[in-house]
Amino acid sequence: MRIVEEIKAAVVALSDQELKEFRSRLAKHDDKCWDDQIEHDAMTGKFDPLAKEAIADHSRYKSA
């Protein structure tokens, strides 16, 4: 937790411009983590049951 406290203190000390840049970089990092997680989940079949259910629902809807 010491590192988290150091980061918190450093963030508070940032100028407005530095904070803007930090937020942008953090958002990009979060986006990449999310993309990596989605890719991993897709590659390991986590979404397969959901996809099968969606296809079945779509087929039922089309034939109705």
Provide the token pair at 46. Answer: 């986590």
Please answer whether residues 31 and 23 qualify as being in contact, where contact means their C-beta atoms are separated by less than 8 angstroms: no
Q: Print the domain residue range for 8.
A: 2-63
**DSSP code at position 45:** T
- Distance (Å, whole) CA 29 – CA 47: 24
61, HSE (Cβ side, Cα atoms, 13 Å): 6
pLDDT in tens, 3-57: 999 999 999 999 999 999 999 999 999 999 999 999 999 999 999 999 999 999 9
What pLDDT sits at residue 19? 98
The total of structural domains in the chain comes to 1
Query: How many Å is the maximal CA-CA distance in the chain?
Result: 62
What pLDDT sits at residue 48? 97
- Distance (Å, whole) CA 35 – CA 8: 26
